[in-house]
Amino acid sequence: MKVKSEVRHAAIAVKLLVLDVDGVLTDGSIIIGNTGELYKRFNVKDGLGIKLLQEVGIQVAICTGRISQIVNVRAEELGIDLVLQGEKDKKEGLAKICIDLGLKAKEVAYMGDDLSDLALFSEVGIAAVPKDASSEVKEKANWVSKHKGGQGAVREFAEFILKEKGLFREAVRKRFSNTEI
């Protein structure tokens, strides 16, 4: 994928990655059991991408329109403290996150996949989408993954940010006890 120079430059300024859940951290499926329990599938590769960002001080937050205890469990596993659920107006959610962290919206990268995410695209430094995002959303994105949601799109985006910032090797070394790549 050819990435425009302004997107590469914007990646250098990123201090926070905000993620949608359904269709980004998951494949968008919701499995409902016989007694009404909900299940979502998360990809460990995406989880590692998040951990690599955190290793070098890039924070990660979740901002989703749905409410699910499963999201809280996954966020806790990954050490994500900023979790906003039930955010019908994601622009408001982003503003809350930026205020809490003292960041400008242009220091934020966001990955979403559907119409509810569009309001954030003009606010953030980089608007990213998985390969299978809705066509209207994909057209407005600055960065498109080669992977579908829940299948490594977050990991690919995390690595892009780290490499543009010159922090990828350091993140790997920190995460895996001085492993060199």
* Angle value at C-alpha 164, between 161 and 167, nearest 5 degrees: 80
pTM comes to 0.95
pLDDT in tens, 129-155: 999 999 999 999 999 999 999 999 999
Cβ atoms of 150 and 22 closer than 8 Å = no
The helix (run of H) or strand (run of E) holding residue 143 is strand 143-144
> For 149-161, b where at least 16 C-beta lie within 10 A, e where not — what string?
bbbbbbbbbbbbb
Closest to 136 (Cα-Cα) out of 153, 115, 161, 121: 115
Say what the pLDDT of residue 149 is: 98
Mean of the pLDDT values across residues 162-177? 95
Sign of torsion over alpha carbons 149, 76, 172, 97: positive
pLDDT band at 1 (very low <50, low <70, confident <90, very high): low
The helix (run of H) or strand (run of E) holding residue 99 is helix 90-101
